[in-house]
């Protein structure tokens, strides 16, 4: 179906339907994305204040066959928030819908509008003596609507699940321009198909989330953090199993770090203090959050001792203060920035069945060595099987020299991931970056079902066209 530009005539039409301040001049920040891969286009920018205004915008776009691009914090890494080609879209930024509508501490529920910044939601939960566990590098600028649209992951998935698992209900505007009032605070509700989870992770291609009822958790009474040197990725996995034997679900985070990442910090961010005298080949960052009078520091001591006896842990630092905790997390959180400063040839957000990880690391390193003299920084959320597997040029050389090898590297990594039953997009989504990967590696029956659902919910194809699903050559929905 052919779509039309959001042109001046369309803007004038919207202007007649909405209060003055809703339409705004398009600023450059709405046309850029963090990795600078694409330059976006926009015909009209709208900043609605409520679901009704979003509905007016979508109904008009539907009638005029104008593409709609929902915009959250703009921090997505796969280009879901950018339309570099095709008709100029109506960009709908949810940023003015940034109200926490209600907090129900006794129910462990918080209702937030889609434009709330994640850190603000975490702070509101903390003010109520609760934890909103979604936590990721961009939390100071990403917005919950985008987190939901992409089913964001982060460092606490191991214990608390993905964004999907933290959502009880949604309010959303469907492509028809109708508002679904689904802001349920219920833990159990078996009344019909799971529209909530269909919208979550659909990256703005099935509708616009305008508000969400979110699950809160108790704040663990005792939090402990350690960075432990392990002898291998398998040892790290064994240590995770040991930790779970000892403290159950209380393992909140379990992050793998390779020496390459720490060397990158030394190279480009020397101000970040590192915990080890001798940089280990592999280490993990573990965080425990215990309740019931237990002491997380003691639990980490016990884990270190038993892990050491079992030959899994060689060295380590257990934080003794909030300052030391922050220092350990600072190391972890600066790894992506160091990566950006070095400049990767190809970066991958993959997940694997836990037991396949050592095999993956071995096979991928071999395959990449066969392509070129690369440095590999492999780190990530090991507890979830989620690795950020990034490939860099040798020291002193630039990524530009290796740009032709980017595709072969990506293909080699993704082929091995797929062969081992893994995913080529663990937590970042498909966006525009991985539409080809979805076709290549996705289950064909699932793809047919996805196209049928897209055509059913968005028959004119106005919602974020070009993201997730590209038009089927054989004539399916786009």
Interface positions, 133-162, toward a second copy (CB under 8 A):
150-151, 153, 157-158, 161-162
- Distance, in Å, from the CA atom of 365 to the CA atom of 195, rounded to the nearest integer, reads 41
Which residues inside 294-353 make contact with a second copy, applying CB under 8 A? Answer: 294, 299, 351-353
Name the residue among 35, 24, 242, 220 with its Cα closest to residue 129: 220
Among the listed ranges 89-97, 139-147, 304-312, 376-384, the one in contact with a second copy (CB under 8 A) is 376-384
Residues sharing a CB contact under 8 Å with residue 421, sequence separation 6 or more, in sequence order: 352, 353, 356
Q: Residues 203, 324: contact at Cβ < 8 Å?
A: no
- Distance, in Å, from the CA atom of 409 to the CA atom of 405, rounded to the nearest integer, reads 6
User: Which one among 103, 336, 434, 464 touches a second copy, defined by CB under 8 A?
Assistant: 434
111 vs 121 by CB, closer to a second copy:
111
Strand pairing partners for 430? none
- Distance, in Å, from the CA atom of 274 to the CA atom of 440, rounded to the nearest integer, reads 41
Strand pairing partners for 209? 172
**String of contacts with a second copy for each residue 250-289, x by CB under 8 A:** x--------------------------------------x
Sign of the C-alpha dihedral computed for residues 387, 391, 396 and 400 taken in this order = negative
Smallest gap from residue 192 Cβ to a second copy (A): 5
288 vs 335 by CB, closer to a second copy:
288
53 vs 120 by CB, closer to a second copy:
53
**DSSP code of residue 333:** H
Smallest gap from residue 290 Cβ to a second copy (A): 6
164 vs 325 by CB, closer to a second copy:
164
User: Which one among 115, 261, 336, 385 touches a second copy, defined by CB under 8 A?
Assistant: 385
CA 231 to chain centre: 29
Residue 474 near a second copy by CB under 8 A: no
Place of tokens 């064909």: 444
**String of contacts with a second copy for each residue 413-432, x by CB under 8 A:** --------xxxxxxxxxx--
Smallest gap from residue 158 Cβ to a second copy (A): 8
Question: What element of type H or E holds 7?
Answer: none
CA distances from 397 to 35, 48, 344 (A): 20, 47, 11
Among the listed ranges 20-28, 136-144, 240-248, 329-337, the one in contact with a second copy (CB under 8 A) is 240-248
Query: Per the structure block, which two tokens stand in for 217?
Result: 């958790």
Residue 358 near a second copy by CB under 8 A: no
Residue 66 near a second copy by CB under 8 A: no
Smallest gap from residue 90 Cβ to a second copy (A): 21
- Distance, in Å, from the CA atom of 296 to the CA atom of 370, rounded to the nearest integer, reads 44
Q: Residues 400, 423: contact at Cβ < 8 Å?
A: no
* Number of residues counted as binding a second copy (CB under 8 A): 98
Residue 292 near a second copy by CB under 8 A: yes
195 vs 365 by CB, closer to a second copy:
195
Name the residue among 156, 76, 175 with its Cα closest to residue 434: 76
Residue 12 near a second copy by CB under 8 A: no
CA distances from 169 to 94, 184, 339 (A): 18, 5, 36
Among the listed ranges 26-34, 57-65, 102-110, 362-370, the one in contact with a second copy (CB under 8 A) is 102-110
- Distance, in Å, from the CA atom of 27 to the CA atom of 45, rounded to the nearest integer, reads 9
Smallest gap from residue 326 Cβ to a second copy (A): 23
Percent helix, strand and coil across the chain, each rounded to 5? 40, 20, 40
Residue 249 near a second copy by CB under 8 A: yes
Which residues inside 161-220 make contact with a second copy, applying CB under 8 A? Answer: 161-162, 164-165, 174, 176, 178-182, 184-195, 197-198, 200-202, 206, 217-218, 220
Smallest gap from residue 329 Cβ to a second copy (A): 20
Q: Residues 343, 375: contact at Cβ < 8 Å?
A: no
Which residues inside 105-124 make contact with a second copy, applying CB under 8 A? Answer: 106-107, 109
Q: Pairing mode, if any, of strands 386-392 and 375-381?
A: antiparallel
Residues sharing a CB contact under 8 Å with residue 38, sequence separation 6 or more, in sequence order: 79, 82, 84, 432
6 vs 318 by CB, closer to a second copy:
318
Among the listed ranges 59-67, 267-275, 398-406, 443-451, the one in contact with a second copy (CB under 8 A) is 443-451
41 vs 122 by CB, closer to a second copy:
122
């Amino acid at each position: 179906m052919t779509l039309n530009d959001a042109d001046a005539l369309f803007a004038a039409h919207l202007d007649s339907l909405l209060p003055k301040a809703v339409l705004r001049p398009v600023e450059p920040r709405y046309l850029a994305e963090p990795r600078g891969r694409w330059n976006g286009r926009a015909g009209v920018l709208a900043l609605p204040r409520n679901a009704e205004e979003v509905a007016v915008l979508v109904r008009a776009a539907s009638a005029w066959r104008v593409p709609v691009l929902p915009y959250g914090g703009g921090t997505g890494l796969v280009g879901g928030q950018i339309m570099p080609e095709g008709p100029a879209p109506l960009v709908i930024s949810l940023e003015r819908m940034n109200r926490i509508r209600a907090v129900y501490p006794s129910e462990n529920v918080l209702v937030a509008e889609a434009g709330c910044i994640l850190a603000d939601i975490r702070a509101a939960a903390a003010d109520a003596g609760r934890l909103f566990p979604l936590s990721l590098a961009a939390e100071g600028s990403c917005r919950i609507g985008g987190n939901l649209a992409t089913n964001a992951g982060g460092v606490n998935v191991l214990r608390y699940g993905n964004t999907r698992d933290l959502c009880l209900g949604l309010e959303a505007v469907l492509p028809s321009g109708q508002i679904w009032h689904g802001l349920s605070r219920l833990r159990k509700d078996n009344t019909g198909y799971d529209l909530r989870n269909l919208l979550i992770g659909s990256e703005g291609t099935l509708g616009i989330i305008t508000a969400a009822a979110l699950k809160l958790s108790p704040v663990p009474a005792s939090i402990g953090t350690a960075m432990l040197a392990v002898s291998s990725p398998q040892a790290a996995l064994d240590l995770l199993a040991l930790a779970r034997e000892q403290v159950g679900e209380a393992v909140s985070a379990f992050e793998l770090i390779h020496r390459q990442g720490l060397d990158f910090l030394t190279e480009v961010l020397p101000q970040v203090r590192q915990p080890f005298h001798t940089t280990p080949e592999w280490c993990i960052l573990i965080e425990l959050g215990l309740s019931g009078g237990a002491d997380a520091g003691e639990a980490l001591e016990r884990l270190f001792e038993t892990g050491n006896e079992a030959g899994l842990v060689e060295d380590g630092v257990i934080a003794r203060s909030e300052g030391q905790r922050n220092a350990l997390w600072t190391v972890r959180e600066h790894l992506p920035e160091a990566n950006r400063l070095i400049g990767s040839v190809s970066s991958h957000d993959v997940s694997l069945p836990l037991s396949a990880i050592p095999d993956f690391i071995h096979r991928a390193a071999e395959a990449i060595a066969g392509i070129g003299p690369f440095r590999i920084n492999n780190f990530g959320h090991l507890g979830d099987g989620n690795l950020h597997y990034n490939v860099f040029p040798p020291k002193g050389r630039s990524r530009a020299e290796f740009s032709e090898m980017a595709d072969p590297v990506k293909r080699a990594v993704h082929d091995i991931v797929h062969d081992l039953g893994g995913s080529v997009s663990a937590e970042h989504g498909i966006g525009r970056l991985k539409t080809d990967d979805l076709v290549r590696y996705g289950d064909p029956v699932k793809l047919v079902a996805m196209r049928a659902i897209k055509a059913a919910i968005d028959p004119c194809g106005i919602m974020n066209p070009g993201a997730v699903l590209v038009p089927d050559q054989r004539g399916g929905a786009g």
